Chains A and B, each alone.
Chain A
Amino acid sequence: MGSVLGDWPSYDPHNFSQLRPSDPSTPSKMTPTTYQPTHNRTLPPPDQVITTETKNILLRHIYQRAEEKLRPKRAAPEHLLPEHGCKQLRASVQDTPC
């Protein structure tokens, strides 16, 4: 038993070193200051206001599958000319919706 109960982790050995058990009948009175922010940084940077993408999961799947269907056809050159082909592929994918 002693083995599992010893050797408690210590981040800073001083922590709690001066704490003595208080009288159990008198509860501790911890009254931290109440925080009332009046500064302007309670609002996050504009690009960090997060929302959920509106696209329905099903539609996203359909689009993804459609993309995957397109991919093998054009993926062929990728093996031959990886770098070049990749660039071409992106351009062509971007063009398709138009």
Chain B
Amino acid sequence: MSIWNYVVTAHKPTNVTHSCVGNFTSSGELNLIIAKCTRIEIHLLSPQGLQPMLDVPIYGRIATLELFRPHGETQDLLFIATERYKFCVLQWDAETSELITRAMGDVSDRIGRPTDNGQIGIIDPECRLIGLHLYDGLFKVIPFDNKGQLKEAFNIRLEELQVLDIKFLYGCSKPTIVVLYQDNKDARHVKTYEVSLKDKDFVEGPWSQNNLDNGAALLIPVPPPLCGVLIIGEETIVYCSANAFKAIPIKPSITRAYGRVDSDGSRYLLGDYNGLLQLLVITHEKEKVTGLKIELLGETSIASTISYLDNAVVYIGSSYGDSQLIKLNMHPDAKGSYVEVLERYVNLGPIVDFCVVDLERQGQGQVVTCSGAYKDGSLRVVRNGIGINEQASVELQGIKGMWSLRSSTEDAFDTFLVVSFISETRILAMNMEDELEETEIEGFCSEVQTLFCHDAVYNQLVQVTSSSVRLVSSITRELRNEWNAPAGYSINVATANATQVLLATGGGHLVYLEIGDGVLTEVKHSQLEYEVSCLDINPIGENPSYSQLAVVGMWTDISVRLFSLPDLNLITKEPLGGEIIPRSVLLCAFEGISYLLCALGDGHLLNFLLNTTTGELTDRKKISLGTQPITLRTFSSKNTTYVFAASDRPTVIYSSNKKLLYSNVNLKEVSHMCPFNTAAFPDSLAIAKEGELTIGTIDDIQKLHIRSILLGEQPRRICHQEQSRTFAICSVKYNQSGGDESEMHVIRLLDDQTFDFISTYPLDTFEYGCSILSCSFSDDSSVYYCVGTAYVLPEESEPTKGRILVFMVEDGKLQLIAEKETKGAVYSLNAFNGKLLAAINQKIQLYKWMLRDDGSRELQSECGHHGHILALYVQTRGDFIVVGDLMKSISLLIYKHEEGAIEERARDYNANWMSAVEILDDDVYLGAENSFNIFTVRKNSEGATDEERGRLDVVGEYHLGEFINRFRHGSLVMRLPDSDVGQIPTVIFGSVNGVIGVIASLPHEQYVFLEKLQTSLRKVIKGVGGLSHEHWRSFNNEKKTVEAKNFLDGDLIESFLDLNRSKMDEIAKQMGVSVEELCKRVEDLTRLH
């Protein structure tokens, strides 16, 4: 039963809603603060650019973000108000690098109609009060006292009911607001009020201005010495103050964002709905405004926020496209633009639709989203893990080991690739044509398996075989020295670095050699009580060619031991527990921290913090990577060290913010890997997998990879067709040619590898593509794309006509096979029992695919079901149909074959306005609604009465804080059927803020355990600004607020792994399990996404 669900973010929100600039982290530092709906990011301005400092989760959707500086403060404070009427004032404590809460509170009112145009939060420039407009007809005041402390808030009645914007005016002796509003005749005016804190009331302000531009929607207060306000309309811009009024006409446009450039307020950047960036200049003679000027600078992403940073660099935050860092140039480029894009920050929002596909056929899902809006529309291919880009590959069976070697110590690149097999060793090298060809190193023994190879000092190479260690000149390639294993003993395992060799023979003999110029010296020998299974002397100390530590894995007592070098004294013995022997050990250092990694024969990996001076091992953690033995190897890419764990589930281990991270590699099974950095293929890896040797380069190391396909138009629906290897999208192209704006709706066919448009089918005028599906029908082996449309006529409140179009992909073209007119918008299409199920306005309609006498095909209506307000989202399973209604929540229908009828079986009687539905299992259905909540309902088949059976019981409720447009079954990660995590069914969601998340249905026992962990974590990880996690996750809409149930916050649970050891200990103690066990259980969960 999928009742117990775990919700976790795979891709954080990227929709930038607010930004501001100020001295937040110190009085001398300039910061950019960005709000991404439920998170804020703090950046520092530096010579190198924007330097990210902190990503701060906020337990609320941010409605207002403002920096301000109360009297007597040396740095700015941050005011944040959330959509659920909480606010907080944050201060940066530079000493501890912590955010501390200066004030917080609840500004909700028991009665009041929430404003239609969003919440307004403003701070008086003299810091006398904070003003909030949250409910129609009310203006809330939070006064400051003279010490900068906040006092009790109060409401003032505001006569204007349709408020468009409110700002504080600068330079007023009493705090004064300017209100832009619309009257009941739809005319727009501005009015000023003084706020009398003593009387808790408004006093008529110094001026007002009636009958403004009908599109006026934005006020920009102008700082001293000019003061006054700019009123931005769609056709005019007006400057207004008590003693001046200046207006200029502008090209019709809707201004979405502004950013002040100069502190005296003489220049502003304006961003419009098409992404055009303009500079507005107030010309003035001393303090007298003489006029306004506007200049087009160029094009950016469609801005939702603009922040002038420093030295002509500007941050453009976007909700509809990628955010940007731009530079304003003095002179135009060839295209006449003054804008130069310096950086681009990926934004997936708004995700309006997506599909989950396995394009590379590797058994791992990738998400392809319809992202962005208007000209910034795009497809984004999101996949988890690291990709290997194959450069060359040869068939080679039975590889037992691989090492790369340089032809001289000074050489920057590798030349040789030593490939070892069970009874021979072959050497490959790059020839002059940059091709890999077989060669020979005369001094090497090539008739036997090689156990280890390494470059050594003095232009030498080391080869270890079962009988000897050979030291060979890399110049002459001739043998210079050889160390032979004692008679009767063969070498089992060996390792080396540039100056040292460590090997173990049968009988537990450990031998340590040092490499000189042409000599191998046996320095130390030690007899251990058991056989050695693996060893390593990777230098992680100061000397890059000499290690003072050796690590050895043991059979029998299943331990790892640390020895000092050169004397082979035992320093530490760490029993691993269990019965699985260590197969690979590695000493490594990431970000200045030393670790010991130890891989077991069953695919588990242990990691320890290593104190290199004392040899002490602490903070043991265990995670499961795969099911087969793991081989660990380091490699470097772009000057950073990584560890490659070769196994049935190859993984790259790296460190970010001093925490070890594990990223899947998009290869099925890798037995051996070695770095192979050649001039022709720099930074490459040689990989042995499934009878093949591959040379490849590696992607940037990060968990999620996003490929952007910018379309220049807005994709609205997407669907993949395996058979034709294509995608089909419904898309809107916005045309602007000389003031005329039109939109054109099209169906496009794209190649699923190149994403090129290969065919386009234009829809009729006013016809919108609403749904798309790839399916086949009974008695017909062909695969079709079906598209549902609506004719959206300006005079109709709901479409009364639409079409279902059936296409086939023939010769890379969309061929229309059949079309059927409908009596409304086709909001959803589903393949259903070999037929086509459509949701058309308030009706669910089933169509048969009929063969006409002439051999052509047509859709023929079979049966339907009325009784919805608008049936927007439909999912099916067997004969069951789950419908998400515009405003009547979820209902369950059943198709009766014998009667050829669809009947309602049950419904949820809550009035949820749905935005997506999905079927979790036979009985449990998942829904998302427009107040940013998700919930589950359950079919009650065992109910005693018809009434009970006819009701879907709400079993889970949760406030996600995200508007979900689509759920899809699938997984972003490769699922191993034999791992615990592989058994957990998951649903992926995509949201307006660009979040990709995973909802995993857990077994009850695991849910109970994690619920307890969540409760413990709530006490340890505090909400920033004093905001409560419990309150944040409570289901909340206009009608009710109830505690979250049967959903867990995976983001909170997984943040356990970021805690320091003592906090982990504290929680583990409360949970009654070991830290190691707890870490492993949480690490496992992180591998769901």
Contacts and interface: CB of A to CB of B under 8 A. Distances in A.
Interface of A: 1-2, 4-6, 8-22, 24, 27-45, 47-53, 55, 57, 60-61, 64
Q: Which of B89, B342, B706, B708 has the most A CB atoms < 10 Å from its CB?
A: B342
Nearest to A43: B1026
Nearest to A54: B110
A94 to B, nearest CB: 18
A32 B55 contact: yes
B101 A50 contact: no
17 contacts: A9-B262, A9-B263, A12-B310, A16-B49, A16-B313, A27-B343, A27-B706, A28-B345, A37-B1024, A42-B101, A44-B89, A44-B103, A47-B149, A49-B103, A51-B105, A52-B106, A60-B200
Contacts of A41: 93, 98, 100-101
Contacts of A35: 54-57, 99, 1024
A14 to B, nearest CB: 5
3 tightest Cβ-Cβ pairs between the two chains A and B: A50-B105, A32-B52, A48-B103
A33 B657 contact: yes
B107 interface: yes
A60 to B, nearest CB: 6
A38 B279 contact: no
A31 B45 contact: no
A97 B30 CA distance: 54
Contacts of A17: 47, 311
A64 to B, nearest CB: 7
B98 A39 contact: yes
A30 B1023 contact: no
Nearest to A22: B343
B150 A5 contact: no
Nearest to B700: A29
Interface string B1017-1044: 0001111111000000000000000000
Contacts of B309: 15-16
Contacts of A5: 279, 295, 297, 328, 330, 338
B344 A28 contact: yes
A38 B1066 CA distance: 12
Contacts of B49: 16, 18-19
Contacts of A38: 1020-1022, 1059-1060, 1063
Contacts of A19: 47-49, 313, 342-343
A24 B109 CA distance: 47
B57 to A, nearest CB: 7
B576 interface: no
Contacts of A29: 700, 702
Contact of A21 (B149, B279, B340): B340
A12 B157 CA distance: 44
A1 B308 CA distance: 19
Contact of B199 (A21, A52, A64): A64
A34 B52 contact: no
B716 to A, nearest CB: 23
Nearest to A60: B200
B101 A43 contact: yes
Contacts of A53: 152-154
Nearest to A10: B311
Contact of A52 (B100, B107, B149, B1023): B107
Nearest to A56: B155
B contacts with A: majority SS:
strand
Nearest to B141: A52
Contact of A14 (B47, B154, B343): B47
Given A16-B313, A19-B342, A44 B153 contact: no
Nearest to B137: A57
Q: Which of A17, A24, A38, A45 has the most B CB atoms < 10 Å from its CB?
A: A38
A13 B338 CA distance: 20
A17 B152 CA distance: 46
Interface of B: 30, 41-43, 45-50, 52-57, 87-89, 93, 96, 98-109, 140, 142, 149-157, 199-201, 261-263, 267, 279, 281, 293, 295, 297, 308-313, 322, 325, 327-328, 330, 338, 340-346, 656-657, 700, 702, 706, 708, 1020-1026, 1055, 1058-1060, 1063
Q: Which of A13, A17, A27, A43 has the most B CB atoms < 10 Å from its CB?
A: A27
A70 B1006 CA distance: 69
A27 B311 contact: no
Contacts of B45: 11-12, 15-16
Contacts of A36: 1021, 1055, 1058-1059
Given A21-B340, A35-B56, A36-B1055, A51 B152 contact: yes
A23 B808 CA distance: 39
Contacts of B41: 30, 32
A29 to B, nearest CB: 7
A11 B310 contact: yes
B1021 A21 contact: no
A50 B55 contact: no
Contacts of B1023: 42
B295 A9 contact: no
Given A30-B52, A38-B1059, A42-B101, A8 B311 contact: yes
A48 B104 contact: yes
Contact of A16 (B47, B330, B700, B1059): B47
Contacts of A14: 46-47
Q: Which of A35, A39, A43, A53 has the most B CB atoms < 10 Å from its CB?
A: A35
Given A12-B30, A29-B702, A38-B1059, A52 B152 contact: yes
A40 B1019 CA distance: 11
B1055 A34 contact: yes
Given A4-B267, A38-B1059, A61-B201, 7 more contacts: A15-B30, A16-B311, A16-B342, A18-B47, A35-B56, A40-B1022, A44-B102
B261 A44 contact: no
Nearest to B91: A41
Given A8-B312, A52-B107, A64-B199, A57 B700 contact: no
A57 to B, nearest CB: 5
A19 B325 CA distance: 11
Contacts of A15: 30, 45-47, 309-311, 313
A4 B295 contact: yes
A48 B150 CA distance: 6
A9 B266 CA distance: 11
A54 B1023 CA distance: 27
Contacts of A27: 322, 343-346, 706, 708
Contacts of B327: 16, 21
Nearest to A34: B55
B261 A21 contact: no
B47 A8 contact: no
A84 B691 CA distance: 103
A50 B47 contact: no
A54 to B, nearest CB: 9
A2 B330 contact: yes
Contact of A51 (B106, B156, B656): B106
B261 A9 contact: yes
A45 B88 CA distance: 12
Contacts of A33: 53-55, 657
Contacts of B330: 2, 5-6
Nearest to A8: B312
A36 B99 CA distance: 10
Contact of B100 (A9, A42, A55): A42
Contacts of B42: 32
A20 B87 CA distance: 39
A22 B342 contact: yes
B309 to A, nearest CB: 7
Contact of A30 (B50, B152, B156, B1022): B50
Contact of A50 (B150, B199, B200, B281): B150
A48 B149 contact: yes
A45 B105 CA distance: 11
Given A38-B1059, A50-B142, A30 B345 contact: yes
Given A18-B48, A27-B322, A44-B101, A50 B1058 contact: no
